[in-house]
Structure 1
């Protein structure tokens, strides 16, 4: 599966355009006036909620004083790539727009750091475990919809198992998630054994946050930090039942990076974590 992500290209394009507007000394309202746009449209374009055409980018570059040349052509190429559809578009019948953005970022992230308090992270789930999670969480979905969700989840796992440029994934999971009997005894045993096996990949690190730690820095819930190799800024990601929140300001990302460092220090070492997972799989949970 190709790891090309138009979502990341789109965000990088917007970052470049915002910087060029600022360098040109123009406000959003001024750009909107020159392009015969509403201020609302300009706000949505720079905020990433409204896609722009290649011709719109040409007009903006002209207004910002960027003439034909290497930078001009590179930004137009970026605009073209940002208009393409990612592989996950095939699942648009079951994947909401807010989560499509995340999958697009995940597809091209060079690394992902994640903390999960309630369940095994989706990239590490077995098919049966994922099915049990969806059956419990999406009680109004028909069986066919559940299967589509499971299929999408399995497809996403390519980012850590692909042979070329696999994503570096550091996962911290609460001990409670390992002891929660999701799908029954057989499903949990398979899931725990799968964690042991996949943790052997050189790009995957697993730590368990044990009960003994007590109160900790992530008591308010799960979060993720995505990093990108091609000059993209880090993004902290938080999810709730009907949407998600992306934090990109450096000071916001630093807060979550510091929290993650505290979690890593509090959690069992990777070797001890795998030993605990293997013990739970063998002796029961």
Structure 2
């Protein structure tokens, strides 16, 4: 990683600032004028090219764009994290828990390459499955709060189902994720039918790693997602790929090419050990029938 720090928070900060400006209906020169900065400065902020970020600029932009307190706190946290030589965020510290950094990466992705050993991936979850997980994760939350969180997760799924340039997804689920009961057998039957249906979309490749395949890499591997972005006219990625690792106490983002490459190798090994897409879909429907019996 370069001495100027991780590019992930700078890119995320820029993406959020650009989205806020567009939602506010402002041009870049207009926004720059309101905070008494040059248009070039704002352009560099929005493209993640600024290495020295003034917190005052972020506060003023959030005020101009009428950003919420949570969003403002999240963007200030990103600005402070951007100077680090490696980067992660721990909930409850610089970045508030309700400010989901990964969602910004996900929204800008061209392709998501994922492996999930224990649970169905968020983007592939049916509403009732999500609801049961949230009830366990937030036991004190009201029904209204749970419903809001379910709605937010379902909204994220639109990147896979939109008509124009849907995000590609290459996902492998360990059979454990299909056999581990979340909520009830009825919930599981619906979830597995949902997975089978989603796997018919042309932009989604879903495979199941059966128990009989053993451990393809020799060591167990946890949940991970590789986020790849679009390419420019020279076929170069517009942003470097990132590996996202979700942990109990915080989220880790790996962006060194060697680290990303190792995860690509791991996913390929897992994919080779998995059932092909057709056989995986048949297994999903078979287990769904077992749950419904």
TM-score of the aligned structures, taking structure 2 as reference length: 0.68
Partner of 2:288: 281
- The runs of 5 or more residues in structure 1 that have no matched partner are 1-14, 19-26, 29-42, 59-67
1:126 aligns with 2:126: yes
Using the TM superposition, give the Cα deviation of residue 96 of structure 1 relative to its aligned residue in structure 2, in angstroms: 4.4
Q: 2-side partners of 1:90 and 1:191: how far apart?
A: 35
Partner of 2:258: 251
Q: 2-side partners of 1:96 and 1:172: how far apart?
A: 31
The Cα RMSD (Å) is 3.8
Using the TM superposition, give the Cα deviation of residue 262 of structure 1 relative to its aligned residue in structure 2, in angstroms: 0.4
Q: 2-side partners of 1:179 and 1:91: how far apart?
A: 37
Using the TM superposition, give the Cα deviation of residue 121 of structure 1 relative to its aligned residue in structure 2, in angstroms: 0.7
Partner of 2:24: none
Larger gyration radius, structure 1 or structure 2: 1
Q: Which of 77, 80, 83 is the equivalent residue of 2:43?
A: 77
1:269 aligns with 2:269: no
Kindly indicate whether the alpha-carbon contact (under 8 Å) linking 2:186 and 2:291 is maintained by their aligned counterparts in 1: no
Partner of 1:106: 106
Partner of 2:226: 225
Kindly indicate whether the alpha-carbon contact (under 8 Å) linking 1:44 and 1:50 is maintained by their aligned counterparts in 2: no
Using the TM superposition, give the Cα deviation of residue 240 of structure 1 relative to its aligned residue in structure 2, in angstroms: 0.6
Query: How many aligned positions are there?
Result: 231
Task: Summarize the Cα distance change of 1:165–1:51 in structure 2 as closer, same or farther, 3 Å threshold.
Answer: closer
Q: 1-side partners of 2:11 and 2:245: how far apart?
A: 18
User: How does 1:123-272 map onto structure 2 within 5 Å?
Assistant: 123-217=123-217, 219-230=220-231, 231-272=238-279
Using the TM superposition, give the Cα deviation of residue 185 of structure 1 relative to its aligned residue in structure 2, in angstroms: 1.5
Kindly indicate whether the alpha-carbon contact (under 8 Å) linking 1:113 and 1:226 is maintained by their aligned counterparts in 2: yes
Kindly indicate whether the alpha-carbon contact (under 8 Å) linking 2:229 and 2:240 is maintained by their aligned counterparts in 1: yes
- The runs of 5 or more residues in structure 2 that have no matched partner are 18-27, 33-37, 49-57, 75-90, 232-237
